[in-house]
Structure 1
């Protein structure tokens, strides 16, 4: 049995495209509907009730597009909105927190794990709780990094400004002696070169995207939601709440490929 309906995923902007890339790589037979909420980026400084409202509006839109499964391609909404909206929608969904945490625990050699994320994600304590739930003996260090998402959205990855910002935020984590760092925002893998230069090869970087897509694939298999290879043609559709041209420009810059059609949808 094959299910050709698309997978839905959303983020505050271009960061979730790092999750899309993993779908294309690990589930190439699946169609997708991507929503970038770039009218409200960044999510980090926003209040929980605002974020839950955004998530509900986006989920309603994705469900109207006929998605069979939803991936929260945003750590902030994974930590704050997912536990709430999961009770209000019947479509199965997954976030980035649990898969990322499991991967970090697997690769950590000394049990000293750092989490760098938006202000809202760090304040939620979601990563810290999930890590401690797996292993109470872990030493966990959180660091909010409010300047990083705006830098990525502005196409400033690979600049002196981004290197300086990463250096500033990572310094307390280096002093704490972390051996593993969770990139707790889907925008941050676009700054991987900066993180690697600042931290050096001895600190492992964990991008939760790959682990999340592998977990999603396993769940979709159990639920009979996978599209069999050679089935219906694959189609990827992109929607944004803000400027489509800004999204296309950022996507072209980071992915090195053109997204030919991006539609604006006013949710509010």
Structure 2
């Protein structure tokens, strides 16, 4: 059986990448809903419809669990899908606001996300639960997903865009930058250059995969490996794994050029993982 992981586009590869490292014995189905990317600028009703279609696809392809590797889709549709498909473990991802507040040392916390995620009650409720001192600010970065989908990760245009978005914030007052969209992980090097050196970048990828492992273990669905899960497993050994099938909006990717592009994205994510 497979573990299904999906996103509107390439952002969800951040979760798959981490899962392949921690769970090399598992088989994965990765689904990028590129026909509808980006989710973050769509209506709630549209996103719910897209997510429902993807989960039905996952069920028909023998998935024992599904990871919604998209902060926007999680915020909009996770609870609804869990109620609708109660027999299926569905794991969502949420911005790592709680650990960021805990580690901030009293400094402010800036959460960057898509417009839809910022305005959803799920994120606002999360902030209210963990931010007693009112340290958290939310910032929409709608253009960054589009840069990512074009494969434009380091450029003058990306830098200018982020500088303009951060212009109204006194960044020296912040201690943590929470990457609240899986697409944003591709830009860690640019974020790092733009932020004061004391600011720590944090995302929810590792926590999501650990939650996936806990859920699978509880249900007796986790395939145990001979060695302990290790987030420092060498990517060079894992990158040629045949345990992953890649789909774009229901279409199996077999083209060598597309698969080569995915390999390059994994290589970038491996570099970003170490920042």
Common topology (TM > 0.5)? yes
- Contact kept, 8 Å, 1:154 with 1:250, in 2: the verdict is no
Among 91, 95, 103, which residue is 2:92 paired with? 95
- 1:63 is displaced (CA, Å) by 0.7
SS at match of 2:246: strand
1:60 corresponds to: 56
2:237 corresponds to: none
1:41 corresponds to: 37
* Cα distance change, pair 78–164 in 1 and its aligned pair in 2 (3 A): same
- Contact kept, 8 Å, 2:101 with 2:135, in 1: the verdict is no
2:149 corresponds to: 153
- 1:176 is displaced (CA, Å) by 8.2
2:238 corresponds to: none
- 1:175 is displaced (CA, Å) by 4.8
1:251 corresponds to: 262
1:28 corresponds to: 24
- Contact kept, 8 Å, 1:114 with 1:173, in 2: the verdict is no
CA displacement 1:104-130 (0-9 Å, x = unmatched): 234222252211011111111433321
The unaligned stretches of length 5 or more in structure 2 are: 227-240, 269-275
Q: CA RMSD in A?
A: 2.2
Matched, 1:237 2:234: no
Q: How does 1:1-268 map to 2 (within 5 A)?
A: 5-89=1-85, 90-97=87-94, 100-110=96-106, 112-175=108-171, 177-229=173-225, 235-241=243-249, 248=259, 250-256=261-267
Mapped to 1, the partners of 2:104 and 2:17 lie a distance apart of 25
The unaligned stretches of length 5 or more in structure 1 are: 258-268
CA displacement 1:175-200 (0-9 Å, x = unmatched): 58221111011110100011111112
- 1:85 is displaced (CA, Å) by 1.3
TM-score normalised by L of structure 2: 0.84
Mapped to 1, the partners of 2:172 and 2:75 lie a distance apart of 24
Greater shift in the superposed pair: 28-37 or 103-112:
103-112
- Contact kept, 8 Å, 1:29 with 1:234, in 2: the verdict is no
* Cα distance change, pair 120–250 in 1 and its aligned pair in 2 (3 A): farther
- Contact kept, 8 Å, 1:174 with 1:199, in 2: the verdict is no
- Contact kept, 8 Å, 1:155 with 1:253, in 2: the verdict is no
- 1:248 is displaced (CA, Å) by 4.1
Mapped to 2, the partners of 1:250 and 1:122 lie a distance apart of 30
- 1:254 is displaced (CA, Å) by 2.1
